[in-house]
Amino acid sequence: MISVCMATYNGSKYIRQQVESILIQLSFEDEVIISDDGSLDETLQVLQEIGDIRVKICKNEPPHGVVENFENAIKHAVGDYIFLCDQDDVWMPGKVKKVLEALKDYDFVVHNAEMVDGDLVSWGIDFFSLRKTRYGYWQNLWKMRYLGCTMAFRRNALKFILPFPNNMLWHDIWVAAILHLKFHGILINEPLIWYRRHGSNVSPSGENSGWSWGFRIRYRGFVFYNSILRVIKVK
């Protein structure tokens, strides 16, 4: 069984296209867990209009922000395989099949993404090339080169990933750190989603370029300390 975990907030413009691109690849036993962080637009209405029982909405009340919103979605997942996704991208045909094939031999997968604008017009570059993505704990602790929405992993990772430490700023750097420390994964160089960049979403790295180097170094130390502590403590 697959659990697709999505965090939403004011995503009505693109969410129908994203959810429909996912559902067509799932079986009737699978689920799409959507944690909504108090959307003020028509996000929830659009989801209700889709009318698919595999779409399960769990509100993140009170609203807490994107990291806690993703954590809430992951907490509600019951599947054997966990896929993370954003509200405004589009899954390419065959993504689920290719990721599941890789998960037969590996504990987690991170795949590439084609960079596109709000109208799905290609930037002419893929994410791995843009970020010079490399596999490894240290490579992604210092400079995060993965997208959370391109990660999938087996359920046995959840006991190490959850709960997120307090004051975690980005869910993807935490998930990547735990997966690398405890499990064996693989990068898929083929783009399997259209990664939409538009005026309403954050930078590809998830970081604020205005943050000082001192803060960035301290934050990496925070992630390092908590990830090492987690894998030592959890049996």
CATH code where residue 127 lies: 3.90.550.10
Pairing of strands 185-196, 90-91: antiparallel
| Mean pLDDT, rounded, for 210-233 | 92
Token pair belonging to 119: 């109208």
* Position 207 confidence tier, pLDDT thresholds 50, 70, 90: low
- List, in order, residues 6 or more apart from 131 with CB less than 8 Å away: 145, 204, 205
Q: How many CB atoms lie within 10 A of CB 136?
A: 12
Token pair belonging to 36: 């909504």
Q: Please say if the pLDDT value at position 205 is more than 50.
A: no
Please give the pLDDT value at position 103: 98
Measure the N-to-C terminal CA separation of the chain; round to a whole number of Å: 24
* Position 150 confidence tier, pLDDT thresholds 50, 70, 90: very high
pLDDT in tens, 74-118: 999 999 999 999 999 999 999 999 999 999 999 999 999 999 999
Show the domain range for 42. Answer: 2-233
pTM (2 d.p.): 0.94
* Average pLDDT value for the chain: 94
224 vs 218: CA distance, rounded Å: 10
74 with 52: CB under 8 angstroms? Answer: no
Lowest mean pLDDT among 111-115, 186-190, 196-200, 204-208: 204-208
Token pair belonging to 62: 């009170």
Number of domains in the chain: 1
Q: Please say if the pLDDT value at position 203 is more than 70.
A: no
113 vs 147: CA distance, rounded Å: 9
Strand boundaries in 11-107, DSSP class E:
31-36, 55-59, 81-85, 90-91
